[in-house]
Structure 1
Amino acid sequence: MAKISPLMDQYFGMKERCGDALLLFRMGDFFETFGPDAEVAARVLNITLTSRQKDREGNRIPLAGIPYHALDAYLPKLVAAGYKVAICEQVEDPKKAKGLVKREIVRVITPGTIIEPSMLEEGANNYLASVVEEGGRIGLSFLDVSTGEFLATELSGDGRLSSELAKFRPSECLVPKSADQIITDLVGTAVQRIEDDDFSLDGARALLAGHFDEEALDRWGLLDLPLAARACGAALSYLSSSHIPTLSHIAEVRIYSPEEFMVLDDTTLRNLEIFRNIRERTKRGSLFEFIDLTATPGGSRALRKWLQMPLISSEEIEQRLDGVEELFADPLRRGDLAEALKGMGDLERIVARTTCGIASPKDLLALKGAIERLPRIVQLLEDAKSQMLIELRGRLEIGPLGEVAELVGRAIEDDPPTGIKEGGVIRDGYDPELDEIRSLLREGRGWISRMEREERARTGIKSLRVGYNNVFGYYIEVTRPNLAAVPPEYIRKQTLAGGERFITPELKEMEERVLSAQERSSSLEEELFLKIRSQAACRGREIQERAAALGEMDAFIALATLAAERGLIRPELNLRGEISMRSSRHPILDASMRGGFVPNDVHLDGRGNRFLILTGPNMAGKSTFMRQIALAVILAQIGSFVPASFASISPVDRIFTRVGAYDDLTSGQSTFMIEMTEVAKILSFATSKSLILLDEVGRGTSTFDGLAIAWAIAEEIHNKVRGKAIFATHYHQLTQLAGVLSGVKNYNMAVKEEGDSVVFLRTVVPGATDRSYGIHVAKLAGVPGEVVARAREVLREIEREAVIEPLRNDRRSRRAGPRYTQLIFFDGPGGGGGGGDIEGDGNSNGEGAVDVEGAPPATLFEDGRNRDAAASLIEEIRDLDLNLLTPIDALNRLSEYQRRLVGEDGKN
Structure 2
Amino acid sequence: MMRQFLEIKTANPDCLLFYRMGDFYELFFEDAETASRALGITLTTRGKHLGDDIPMCGVPVHAADDYLQRLIALGHRVAVCEQLEDPAEARKRGSKSVVRRDVVRLVTPGTLTEDNLLDSRRNNFLAALARTKAAGDDGFALAWADISTGEFGVAEAARLELPALIARVEPGELLVSDALYDDPALRNLLRETRAAVTPLPPAVFDSTSAERRLRDYFSVATLDGFGPLTRAETAAAGAVVSYVDRTQVGGRPPLSPPIRETRGAVMAIDPATRANLELVTTLSGDRRGSLAAAVDRTVTAAGGRELTRRLASPLTDHARIAARHEAVAWLVDNAALRRTVREVLRSAPDMARSRARIAVGRGGPRDLAAIRDGIAAAHALAGHLGEVPDAEGPDRLADIAGRLRAPQRAVHAELAAALVDAPPHLRRDGGFVKAGFAAELDQARDLRDESRKIVAGLQAKYQDDTGVRSLKIRHNNVLGYFVEVTAQHAGKLTAEPNSQTFFHRQTLASQMRFSTGELADLEGRIATAAERALALEMEIFDALVARVVADGEALDAASAALGELDVHAGFAELAVSRDYVRPVMSDDLAFDIHGGRHAVVEQALAGAGDGPFVANDCDLSPPQPGDGSEADGGRILLVTGPNMAGKSTFLRQNALIAVLAQAGSFVPAESARIGIVDRLFSRVGAADDLARGRSTFMVEMVETAAILNQAGPRSLVILDEIGRGTATFDGLSIAWATIEHLHDVNRCRSLFATHFHELTALSETQARLSNATVRVKEWKGDVVFLHEVVPGAADRSYGVQVAKLAGLPAAVVSRAREVLHKLEETDRNAGAAGIVDDLPLFASHVRRAAAPAAAAGSPSVLAERLAAVTPDDLTPLQALELLYELKALAANQAADPAGGREQR
Relative to structure 1, is the Cα distance of residues 846 and 523 closer, same or farther in structure 2, using a 3 angstrom cutoff?
A: farther
- Contact persistence 1:86–1:105 (CA under 8 A): yes
Structure 1 residue 93: Cα displacement: 1.5
Q: Which residue of 2 aligns with 1:162?
A: 163
1:419 and 2:419 correspond: no
Whole-angstrom CA distance in 1 between matches of 2:848 and 2:80: 67
Q: Which residue of 1 aligns with 2:66?
A: 73
Q: Which residue of 1 aligns with 2:586?
A: 574
SS in 1 for 2:316: coil
Whole-angstrom CA distance in 2 between matches of 1:448 and 1:44: 55
1:657 and 2:685 correspond: no
1:799 and 2:824 correspond: yes
Relative to structure 1, is the Cα distance of residues 513 and 160 closer, same or farther in structure 2, using a 3 angstrom cutoff?
A: same
Whole-angstrom CA distance in 1 between matches of 2:645 and 2:823: 24
Whole-angstrom CA distance in 2 between matches of 1:177 and 1:31: 32
SS in 2 for 1:13: helix
- Contact persistence 1:357–1:534 (CA under 8 A): no
Q: Which residue of 2 aligns with 1:329?
A: 333
Relative to structure 1, is the Cα distance of residues 96 and 833 closer, same or farther in structure 2, using a 3 angstrom cutoff?
A: same
SS in 1 for 2:691: helix
- Contact persistence 1:826–1:833 (CA under 8 A): no
1:590 and 2:626 correspond: no
Write the letter of the residue equivalent to 2:210.
A
- Contact persistence 2:332–2:338 (CA under 8 A): yes
Write the letter of the residue equivalent to 1:404.
V
- Write the deviation string for residues 422-457 of structure 1: whole angstroms up to 9, x where unpaired: 3323334433443444455467443556799999xx
Relative to structure 1, is the Cα distance of residues 518 and 504 closer, same or farther in structure 2, using a 3 angstrom cutoff?
A: farther
Relative to structure 1, is the Cα distance of residues 574 and 518 closer, same or farther in structure 2, using a 3 angstrom cutoff?
A: closer
Among 207, 215, 220, the alignment partner of 1:209 is 215
1:82 and 2:75 correspond: yes
Relative to structure 1, is the Cα distance of residues 703 and 443 closer, same or farther in structure 2, using a 3 angstrom cutoff?
A: closer
Whole-angstrom CA distance in 2 between matches of 1:26 and 1:425: 27
SS in 1 for 2:88: coil
Write the letter of the residue equivalent to 1:94.
P
Among 268, 276, 279, the alignment partner of 1:274 is 279
Q: Which residue of 1 aligns with 2:176?
A: 175
1:185 and 2:178 correspond: no
Farther off after superposition, 607-616 or 143-152: 607-616
Structure 1 residue 826: Cα displacement: 4.3
What are the within-5 Å matches in structure 2 for residues 845-856 of structure 1? none
What are the within-5 Å matches in structure 2 for residues 123-134 of structure 1? 123-133=121-131, 134=133
Relative to structure 1, is the Cα distance of residues 347 and 442 closer, same or farther in structure 2, using a 3 angstrom cutoff?
A: closer
Q: Which residue of 1 aligns with 2:51?
A: 58
Write the letter of the residue equivalent to 2:556.
Q
- Contact persistence 1:833–1:848 (CA under 8 A): no
Write the letter of the residue equivalent to 1:417.
P
Relative to structure 1, is the Cα distance of residues 665 and 362 closer, same or farther in structure 2, using a 3 angstrom cutoff?
A: same
Write the letter of the residue equivalent to 2:595.
S
- Write the deviation string for residues 618-670 of structure 1: whole angstroms up to 9, x where unpaired: 11110011111111111111111111111111111111111110112222211
Whole-angstrom CA distance in 2 between matches of 1:605 and 1:361: 57
SS in 2 for 1:163: helix
Farther off after superposition, 345-354 or 677-686: 345-354
What are the within-5 Å matches in structure 2 for residues 869-884 of structure 1? none
1:16 and 2:18 correspond: no
Q: Which residue of 2 aligns with 1:396?
A: 404
What number of residue pairs does the alignment pair up? 783
- Contact persistence 1:802–1:824 (CA under 8 A): yes
- Write the deviation string for residues 566-592 of structure 1: whole angstroms up to 9, x where unpaired: 011111123341211111111111122
SS in 1 for 2:823: helix
Whole-angstrom CA distance in 2 between matches of 1:379 and 1:63: 58
Whole-angstrom CA distance in 2 between matches of 1:174 and 1:30: 31
1:537 and 2:549 correspond: yes
1:385 and 2:378 correspond: no
Whole-angstrom CA distance in 2 between matches of 1:540 and 1:246: 15
Q: Which residue of 2 aligns with 1:405?
A: 412
Structure holding more helix per residue: 2
- Write the deviation string for residues 485-508 of structure 1: whole angstroms up to 9, x where unpaired: xxx98999xxxxxxxxxx998898
- Contact persistence 1:262–1:310 (CA under 8 A): yes
Whole-angstrom CA distance in 2 between matches of 1:490 and 1:689: 99
Farther off after superposition, 406-415 or 168-177: 406-415
- Contact persistence 1:260–1:311 (CA under 8 A): yes
Structure 1 residue 723: Cα displacement: 0.5
Farther off after superposition, 14-23 or 241-250: 241-250
CA RMSD of superposed structures (Å): 3.1
Q: Which residue of 2 aligns with 1:261?
A: 266
SS in 2 for 1:678: helix
Farther off after superposition, 353-362 or 772-781: 353-362
Whole-angstrom CA distance in 1 between matches of 2:846 and 2:554: 68
Q: Which residue of 2 aligns with 1:221?
A: 227
Among 341, 354, 357, the alignment partner of 1:353 is 357
Relative to structure 1, is the Cα distance of residues 446 and 206 closer, same or farther in structure 2, using a 3 angstrom cutoff?
A: same
Among 187, 193, 203, the alignment partner of 1:197 is 203
Q: Which residue of 2 aligns with 1:141?
A: 143
Q: TM-score, normalised by structure 1?
A: 0.81
Structure 1 residue 220: Cα displacement: 2.0
SS in 2 for 1:241: helix
Structure 1 residue 521: Cα displacement: 2.8
Write the letter of the residue equivalent to 1:148.
G
- Contact persistence 2:24–2:58 (CA under 8 A): yes
What are the within-5 Å matches in structure 2 for residues 362-381 of structure 1? 362-381=366-385
Structure 1 residue 474: Cα displacement: 6.9
Whole-angstrom CA distance in 1 between matches of 2:679 and 2:536: 59
Relative to structure 1, is the Cα distance of residues 600 and 441 closer, same or farther in structure 2, using a 3 angstrom cutoff?
A: closer
- Write the deviation string for residues 527-555 of structure 1: whole angstroms up to 9, x where unpaired: 22112211211110111011111110101
Whole-angstrom CA distance in 1 between matches of 2:85 and 2:833: 88
Structure 1 residue 789: Cα displacement: 2.0
- Contact persistence 1:21–1:83 (CA under 8 A): yes
Structure 1 residue 193: Cα displacement: 0.5
Runs of at least 4 residues off by over 6 Å = 449-455, 464-468, 472-476, 488-492, 503-509, 832-835, 844-849
What are the within-5 Å matches in structure 2 for residues 584-733 of structure 1? 584-594=596-606, 595-607=611-623, 610-733=635-758
- Contact persistence 1:220–1:255 (CA under 8 A): yes
SS in 1 for 2:285: coil
- Write the deviation string for residues 31-53 of structure 1: whole angstroms up to 9, x where unpaired: 11111111122122221111010
- Contact persistence 2:447–2:454 (CA under 8 A): no
Percent identity, aligned pairs only, is 38
Structure 1 residue 266: Cα displacement: 1.2
Relative to structure 1, is the Cα distance of residues 801 and 114 closer, same or farther in structure 2, using a 3 angstrom cutoff?
A: same
- Contact persistence 1:562–1:568 (CA under 8 A): yes
- Contact persistence 1:827–1:833 (CA under 8 A): no
Q: TM-score, normalised by structure 2?
A: 0.82
- Contact persistence 2:211–2:223 (CA under 8 A): no
Relative to structure 1, is the Cα distance of residues 197 and 445 closer, same or farther in structure 2, using a 3 angstrom cutoff?
A: farther
Structure 1 residue 263: Cα displacement: 1.0
SS in 2 for 1:759: strand
- Contact persistence 2:82–2:104 (CA under 8 A): yes
Q: Which residue of 1 aligns with 2:887?
A: none
Write the letter of the residue equivalent to 1:434.
L
- Write the deviation string for residues 756-806 of structure 1: whole angstroms up to 9, x where unpaired: 2221111111111221111111111122222222222222221222326xx
Whole-angstrom CA distance in 1 between matches of 2:515 and 2:59: 42
- Write the deviation string for residues 115-150 of structure 1: whole angstroms up to 9, x where unpaired: 122211111100001001232220110110101100
- Contact persistence 1:833–1:847 (CA under 8 A): no
SS in 2 for 1:124: coil
Q: Which residue of 2 aligns with 1:95?
A: 88
What are the within-5 Å matches in structure 2 for residues 307-322 of structure 1? 307-322=311-326
Whole-angstrom CA distance in 1 between matches of 2:554 and 2:479: 49
